[in-house]
Structure 1
Amino acid sequence: MLQNLSAAVEKTCHQHRDFLRKRAEEETVTEAPEPPPMLSPPAELPRTQIIERTRHRYEDIHRLLEKRWTISAIARRLNLDRKTVRRFRDTALDELLASARERRPNGVLEPFKAYLNARFTETQGQASGTQLFLEIQGRGYRGSRQVVRKHLAALRAGTAEPVRADIPSARKITSWIMRPRETLTESQEERLLQVRLACPDITRACDLARAFADMLRHQRGYLLLEWIQQAEQDAPKPMKGFAGFLRQDLDAVTAGLTLPWSSGVVEGNVNRVKTLKRAMYGRASFELLR
């Protein structure tokens, strides 16, 4: 049950990552209301591999759609999932490109861009690339000098991308929520608090998840129905789905949260047998017996 609950919490966090990102960007703008001109967003998206792949995939899918190909046929032709084909069919290209841009992995320079931008502004663009390279190298930078020079050139040309907000992943937020509070470090508690303050839905999911975990660990099954009613009333959609799943087998779940007995041993042995069967699949022959 905790695994299903964790999946619902992670899905909730994933659905609200854009909200967290926007809130972080708003706070950044509030702290620096007059950013220098060189930090403005570029006029067009950078020609990175993931953006170009997204653009070409969009063109291929819509070209086949114009030929009246079905979703399944396009998926087979392009070796894609049908859900992916539908998303490219129903979503505007600009939105897909923006999403692809957000999925780009952080480069080796990304953690140091904020410092470089601040130093560049402080020196009015007069700081040398070698000097700034040595400064961030002392702060832990392990990349090449050429990467730093390229970023400084983009700053001078006014085409540098804004520093992306440091948003924890949905899985990391979920781990902070599902773990007992006493096992979290001070920095983890602080970051989780920031996430909770930024998004009411994640806050609600966090409160419900912790209440359910506490109910499970202390065998308080008599509180289950009340928990389900609260979740169905105002919880995010994934948490409502988890509550509905529990309601379908309410008596069994209540017993599992109340009684000291568990089918975990049986389930473990079943899983072990299935693992052995998978490992032996296709190998049972006379040659193996020799």
Structure 2
Amino acid sequence: MEKTVSAHHACVRTAFENTVPAAPPTSDDIWQTPPPAPAAGMLDVCGRERRLVTRTRERHTAVRQLPDSGSTLENVCRTLQLDRSTVRRFARATSIDELLVKATNRSTILGRYKPHLHQRWNEGCHTSAQLHQEIVALGFTGSLQTVRRYLRPFKAATVAPPARRPAPRPRRIVRWIMTDPGNLTADDAADLKEVRTSCPELDAVTHHVRDFAAMMLDLRGDQLPAWMERVLADDLPSLHSLINGLSRDIDAVTAGLSTPWSSGQVEGQVTRTKLLKRQGFGRANLDFLRKRVLLTP
């Protein structure tokens, strides 16, 4: 699920960053509402591509070219002087967008206060110390140097550029999709609606997930073959791998979706037995373990 969202996150990022950001937080909002998603974007405040994005593109190109020429993973690591896990992550990525999601959605302590800084700068307050004091009153815990470093590019412009609205992280979008629509807050439901509007693939994923959830709740295993056909009809490779796994034991999956029986009691007893075994630190024999299993309530 998260791979699917990451692969199509560019559509979400574009939709969110091209909308007007929410109003600057007040002192009451800081304590009464959870912090918004971290700032995201491939460009810096001056419109230039961020160095992290450029470096990610360069590494992705280099890693994908070397294996094509016959180099092994170890040779790629030595040639590019990169860690093995980094090279493997770049080599396994299905697209550059999957890598740029993490590069452009890093959390910053200044992210939620940027709309306030942009607004005050355009109102004529260009003193970093004053702006720092204002956001400290709103809950900012960073240093004055952090504010100065962020405001430095503004001095060359007459007005501050508009603050981009942060796009939600893939994991948060996955949580929205996997949550019962009736349990979503109004803000989360509105954001999910915007995500689905901006990306037809994620809209299809949401439909498939909710259909499967309804099938589980209503014990309608007879609908599984039709659901699998609808998923295969869409261009969703990650969900196709799920269908392949379900197809290997379709009878058991259908029975599990059709009967009210659950293996929860068995799993609970297995977990309990493992706990009792580990409490012996490997020194209890089978006879003692048998008595603990039978006599421990």
Q: Relative contact order, CA 8 A, sep 6+: which one is greater?
A: 1
**Which amino acid counterpart does residue 147 of structure 2 have in structure 1?**
V
Structure 2: gaps (5+ residues): 22-43, 289-297
Rounded to whole Å, the distance in 1 between the matches of 2:177 and 2:99 is 32
Could you tell me how far 1:39 is from its partner in structure 2?
4.5
Does the alignment pair 1:106 with 2:107? yes
Rounded to whole Å, the distance in 2 between the matches of 1:177 and 1:270 is 31
Rounded to whole Å, the distance in 1 between the matches of 2:100 and 2:178 is 31
Rounded to whole Å, the distance in 2 between the matches of 1:254 and 1:266 is 20
Does the alignment pair 1:204 with 2:196? no
| Alignment CA distance shift 1:276-1:18 (3 Å) | farther
Equivalent residue, structure 2, for 1:221: 221
Rounded to whole Å, the distance in 2 between the matches of 1:284 and 1:61 is 49
Residue from 1, 6, 10 that aligns with 2:2: 10
Could you tell me how far 1:275 is from its partner in structure 2?
6.8
| Alignment CA distance shift 1:61-1:272 (3 Å) | farther
Question: SS of the counterpart of 1:167?
Answer: coil
Does the alignment pair 1:237 with 2:237? yes
Per-residue deviation, residues 216-263 of structure 1 (Å, max 9, x unmatched): 012111211111111111252222222232222221111111112233
TM-score by length of 2: 0.68
**Which amino acid counterpart does residue 198 of structure 1 have in structure 2?**
S
Equivalent residue, structure 2, for 1:20: 12
Per-residue deviation, residues 123-177 of structure 1 (Å, max 9, x unmatched): 2xx532233223323333222233222322221145x998554122222222222
Residue from 84, 93, 118 that aligns with 1:80: 84
> For the aligned residues, what is the CA RMSD?
4.4
| Alignment CA distance shift 1:279-1:61 (3 Å) | farther
Rounded to whole Å, the distance in 1 between the matches of 2:246 and 2:45 is 50
Rounded to whole Å, the distance in 1 between the matches of 2:92 and 2:251 is 39
Equivalent residue, structure 2, for 1:135: 134
**Which amino acid counterpart does residue 20 of structure 1 have in structure 2?**
V
Rounded to whole Å, the distance in 2 between the matches of 1:244 and 1:59 is 31
**Which amino acid counterpart does residue 200 of structure 1 have in structure 2?**
P
Residue from 58, 70, 75 that aligns with 2:72: 70
Count of residues paired in the alignment: 259
Question: SS of the counterpart of 1:41?
Answer: coil
Rounded to whole Å, the distance in 1 between the matches of 2:149 and 2:82 is 36
Residue from 36, 46, 61 that aligns with 1:40: 46
Does the alignment pair 1:249 with 2:254? no
8 Å Cα contact 1:51/1:101 also seen in 2: no
Equivalent residue, structure 2, for 1:32: none
8 Å Cα contact 1:75/1:85 also seen in 2: no
**Which amino acid counterpart does residue 246 of structure 1 have in structure 2?**
L
8 Å Cα contact 1:51/1:97 also seen in 2: no
**Which amino acid counterpart does residue 259 of structure 1 have in structure 2?**
T
8 Å Cα contact 1:114/1:163 also seen in 2: yes
Equivalent residue, structure 2, for 1:117: 118
**Which amino acid counterpart does residue 152 of structure 2 have in structure 1?**
A
| Alignment CA distance shift 1:274-1:13 (3 Å) | farther
Counting aligned pairs with the same residue, the percent is 32
| Alignment CA distance shift 1:161-1:99 (3 Å) | farther
TM-score by length of 1: 0.69
| Alignment CA distance shift 1:85-1:254 (3 Å) | closer
Alignment of 1:160-175 (within 5 A): 163-175=163-175
